[in-house]
Amino acid sequence: MRPCRICASLDYTPVYYIDEVEISRCNRCDFIQIASVGSLSILNAHYSSCGHDGPDLRSNFDKLKIIRAAGFRADYFMRHTGLTGGEVLEIGASEGHFLDELRGRGFNVTGVEPSRHGLKAVEKGLHVHRDMLENVALKDAHYDAICLFQVIEHFEDPLGVLRLLYSKLKAGGCLVVETPDIYSVGSKFEKTPWKLFNVEHITYFSQKSLDELLKAAGFKIIASRHCDYDGLRLPFAKMLKRVVVPLINPGFKGPLQKILAKEIDIRYRTSDHSRISAVGARQGAGGKRLRDIKKMLAAPFDILMSNIAYALDRGSSVYSVARK
Ligand SMILES: [Zn+2]
């Protein structure tokens, strides 16, 4: 076992297994992570066999959600950082949807994206380094903001990454981090086991542990909230929120309050041996078409669930903005 990535403790409780990889909870600070030594070699094998450099397995519906999310993320970004221009760096820029959106709003943008998705960003004419972060030479104290959307959970040393990015920000510059919420409603009800338990995800944050990590790297938190990754929200969600929020008032101790409380326990402790090998078996055009059809049929349900999660103010992800 390796020391806890936040508090350096070696005292863990196992939460979940993906084959021989153990996901554990730190008994001192509560941070959930892959703590077993040797997990990196499994991760590297996963990336090279069926991960980000394999064939594109996403459905057209998922692609549409990602494009729409870029607009919502740009809105949040401008609202919470107060920036209307300047130098912005995105780590894990993927196909460059977010950077493209910010460029359209007058920002100078740079990305880092080692996977094949980065090619599409380059095709958009974006300045994207197609290499691992540790191999890219970035200017010190240069950026007004640095963003990481659904990427901090992929790093072996998230604290080291945040300290590195701290040095790349100007004084007063902003860091924006969005990551799946281990205590989200979806993690409990969506499916068992939660689909985000995956060897690609080394660390599993809550709003509290994300903020602890940002503070440990020297940042001051300026905004911290829940959000939906896909951002497919309708005005209906806002209306629902006005009705639902009074019902889930924390002053009333009902079952819903327990579910929404962060301290609720997570006990999976099951093994999912089929998961990694199943990814390989699903590859191929026929499988993809079938999944496209399934996704389209499930879309209304997906949008409804996304809206309900938003109405409960417990989207699938946590989102923090911090200042240097
Ligand atoms: Zn810890």
Q: Is the pLDDT of residue 242 over 70?
A: no
The string of pLDDT tens digits covering residues 132-162 is: 898 999 999 999 999 999 999 988 889 999 9
β 143-149/12-18 pair status: unpaired
Which two three-digit tokens encode residue 82? 């107060």
Q: What is the CA radius of gyration of the chain?
A: 19
Q: Is the pLDDT of residue 51 over 70?
A: no
* Percentage of residues in the chain having pLDDT higher than 70: 61
pLDDT value at residue 269: 38
The string of pLDDT tens digits covering residues 161-171 is: 999 999 999 99
Quote the ligand 1 centre to 31 CA distance (angstroms). 5
Quote the ligand 1 centre to 72 CA distance (angstroms). 33
Q: How far apart are CA 27 and CA 247, in angstroms?
A: 33
Q: In which band, very low, low, confident or very high, does the pLDDT at 122 lie, cut at 50, 70 and 90?
A: very high
Place of tokens 């397995």: 57
Q: Is the pLDDT of residue 302 over 70?
A: no
Quote the ligand 1 centre to 14 CA distance (angstroms). 13
Q: In which band, very low, low, confident or very high, does the pLDDT at 281 lie, cut at 50, 70 and 90?
A: very low
Quote the ligand 1 centre to 73 CA distance (angstroms). 30
Higher pLDDT, residue 76 or 233: 76
The string of pLDDT tens digits covering residues 2-27 is: 899 888 899 998 877 776 678 888 88
Read off the pTM. Answer: 0.78
Q: How far apart are CA 194 and CA 197, in angstroms?
A: 6
Quote the ligand 1 centre to 29 CA distance (angstroms). 4
Among 37-46, 61-70, 267-276, the range with the most confident prediction by mean pLDDT is 61-70
Quote the ligand 1 centre to 4 CA distance (angstroms). 5
pLDDT value at residue 271: 38
Q: In which band, very low, low, confident or very high, does the pLDDT at 43 lie, cut at 50, 70 and 90?
A: low
pLDDT value at residue 149: 93
Q: Domains in the chain, please, with CATH?
A: 12-323 (3.40.50.150)
pLDDT value at residue 295: 66
Q: How far apart are CA 213 and CA 71, in angstroms?
A: 27
Quote the ligand 1 centre to 37 CA distance (angstroms). 16
Quote the ligand 1 centre to 9 CA distance (angstroms). 5
Tell me: cis bond preceding 193? Omega within 30 of 0 counts: yes
Q: Is the pLDDT of residue 99 over 90?
A: yes
Quote the ligand 1 centre to 23 CA distance (angstroms). 13
Quote the ligand 1 centre to 13 CA distance (angstroms). 11
The string of pLDDT tens digits covering residues 194-217 is: 556 666 788 888 888 899 899 999
Quote the ligand 1 centre to 15 CA distance (angstroms). 14
The string of pLDDT tens digits covering residues 61-71 is: 677 777 878 88
Q: Is the pLDDT of residue 108 over 90?
A: yes
* Percentage of residues in the chain having pLDDT higher than 90: 35
Quote the ligand 1 centre to 5 CA distance (angstroms). 6
Q: Is the pLDDT of residue 284 over 50?
A: no
Quote the ligand 1 centre to 12 CA distance (angstroms). 8
**3-class DSSP string for 41-58:** HHHHHHHHHCCCCCCCCC
Quote the ligand 1 centre to 35 CA distance (angstroms). 10
pLDDT average, residue stretch 32-51: 66
Alpha-carbon separation of residue 154 from 88, 131, 151, 305 (angstroms): 21, 15, 5, 26
Q: In which band, very low, low, confident or very high, does the pLDDT at 72 lie, cut at 50, 70 and 90?
A: confident
What is the residue-averaged pLDDT of the chain? 77
| Range with the poorest average pLDDT among 178-187, 198-207, 287-296 | 287-296
